[in-house]
Structure 1
Amino acid sequence: MAIYAGYVAVVFLVQRLSGVSYTDLGESGGNLFLGVGLSLIIAAILLAITTTLLGWWRPALHERKRSVRWPIIAPILMAVALLINLAATDWGSYDGAFFAASIVLILVGFTEELTTRGLLLTSLRSRLSEGWVWFLTTALFALMHLINAATGQDLASTLQQVGFAFLGGTIFYMLRRTTGTLIWSMVLHGLWDFSVFAVGHGTPGPLAGVGSIVYLAAGVLALATVVFVIRGADERIDARA
């Protein structure tokens, strides 16, 4: 929890000190880098150091035993939503600076996944059953998005984002369990956030909005099937080890 709180604090402070409002992130590459990218770079370095000092890379990144495979349908559906977002993106509106800053956004997959479904998940497994591990890591992942309200986004939009993040967090948890590694969750998470900013830049194509609908369907499916990747999990870590 200290690492989780520290991550949220670092990201919030760096974003606040940048002076860039959340609603102005898409205006330029400079805004996007200073408002988001810089905080992700700093957080990624600190998380890598922390994980190394703890010696937790293996449990943070890998399952001891994968769950049943078929619930991976929900993550695959989210990947389809991602591709739809990219297809609806107005790539002609991009300049080099904005594209470079957008690429940095992919780091969010590393930082947020390692914080919640990596380090936090590892620690909770020494105390709790797997059902609680899924719920708490997913809920805390969703709640970390509340800082967007403090950096310029209106509260209603932020609360909606929190709800959508809970769905996404469940999908990322299921991807970890079905593949046996957090790495694919990091990749999908990073590319998803990239696609969300991409489709919102310039003038979106006719498929804009379809990606969100498919994402919602993936999230609902994930909630309906997450029990199958929790059931029979043998991932609890002996706290005395």
Structure 2
Amino acid sequence: MTTSLRVRPRVWIGFAIWLAYIVIVFGVQTATGIPYDEWGDSGQNLFLGGGLSLIIATILLAITTSLLGWWRPTLFEDARSHHRWPIFVPLLVALLAIINLTLTDWASYDGVFFAASLVLLLVGFTEEMTARGLMLVALRSRLSEVWVWFLTSAAFGLMHFMNFFLGQDLVPTLQQVGSAFLIGTVFYILRRTTGTLIWAMVLHAVWDFSVFAVAHGTPNPLASLVGVLEMLFGVIALAVVWFTFRSSARSVEAQI
């Protein structure tokens, strides 16, 4: 595949894109002066605190992917997972997202806040393109699929550590990093079993939107149970992700 790409994939390129994403998003969010724990106070705070950085990141990632010529390997697998049954884990997470939306206090939303919330859906594109898209393509140029899964999931988790520097307390930040590693494994499984990153983008966007939505307004006591199930499904994902490393065609290492 390297002959059809404008730039040959290199491991360092993937890490450079990942680091650049963090720097740009963190820089924009810091420049707005809105602490992370105040994003939910108003639609303006939410847009400036989170939405604006996602819009900028979306544009820059699209430009970067075009310059590299990596759109196809970023969005599509040359060889899907030999085992498709692990897709049940992403389906369970999708069900949790639906439950979150049914538990949300929608009466607490006004038009501006809802519009700003919709902008947050871009996180499904930006974070997936960065971690399980461009970085994955770069890592596959040299590493086995086990390392590709682990490093992309770990990088995805560490991306969330920037929230500590945006005002979130350390303990919940560390919990968020660990949770992101687990849910990142779920998204990786979805990419491997469906053969495309697009469904992972969709689930990621809906999941993050649902988690933010259920936390706004008057909390529903059942929401904490959803959080426990999220961790459980993440652990199950760790248990079954191994079955997705083997491809239905030639080895993953030969894809790039």
Where on the TM-score scale, by shorter chain, does this alignment land: which range?
A: over 0.9
Q: Deviations over 1:16-57 (max 9, x none)?
A: 001000010111111110000000000000000000011100
**2:249 counterpart of 1:235:** no
Deviation at 1:238, TM superposition (A): 6.8
Which residue in 1 is equivalent to 2:241? Answer: 226
Q: How does 1:101-180 map to 2 (within 5 A)?
A: 101-180=116-195
Give the match for residue 191 of structure 1.
206
Task: Supply the distance in 2 between the matched residues of 1:238 and 1:180 (Cα, whole angstroms).
Answer: 13
| Cα distance in 2 between the residues matched to 1:70 and 1:127 | 28
Q: Which runs of 5+ in 1 are unaligned?
A: none
- Asked if the contact 1:81–1:210 (Cα under 8 Å) also holds between the matched residues in 2, the reply is no
| Residue in 2 that maps onto 1:29 | 43
Shift of 1:204: 2.5
Distance 2:99 2:113 in 1: 20
Q: 1:7 aligns with which of 10, 21, 24?
A: 21
User: For 1:206 and 1:146, how far apart are their aligned partners in 2?
Assistant: 27
What is the deviation of 1:77?
0.8
Q: Unaligned 5+ residue runs, structure 2?
A: 1-14
TM-score normalized by structure 2?
A: 0.91
**Match of residue 97 from structure 2:** 82
2 CA distance for matches of 1:238 and 1:232?
10
TM-score by length of 1: 0.96
Deviations 1:99-140 (A, max 9, x none): 001101110000000001000000100010000000000001
**Amino acid paired to 1:226:** V
Alignment map for 1:40-51 (pairs within 5 Å): 40-51=54-65
User: Greater CA deviation, 200-209 or 166-175?
Assistant: 200-209
How many residue pairs are counted as aligned between the two chains?
239
Separation in 1, partners of 2:77, 2:176: 28
Aligned residue in 2 for 1:60: 74
Indicate the RMSD between aligned Cα atoms, in angstroms.
1.2
Q: Contact 2:78/2:255 (CA < 8 Å) preserved in 1? A: no
- Ranges of 4+ aligned residues in structure 1 off by more than 4 Å: none
Cα deviation for residue 206 of structure 1 reads 4.1
Kept in 2, the 8 Å contact 1:74–1:222? The answer is yes
Aligned position for 2:12: none
- Tell whether the 8 Å contact from 1:84 to 1:207 is kept in structure 2 after alignment: no
Task: Say if 1:19 and 1:122 are closer, same or farther in 2 by CA, change over 3 A.
Answer: same
Q: Which amino acid aligns with 2:252?
A: E
Give the whole-Å Cα distance in 1 for the aligned partners of 2:188 and 2:123. 16
Q: Secondary structure at the match of 1:236?
A: helix
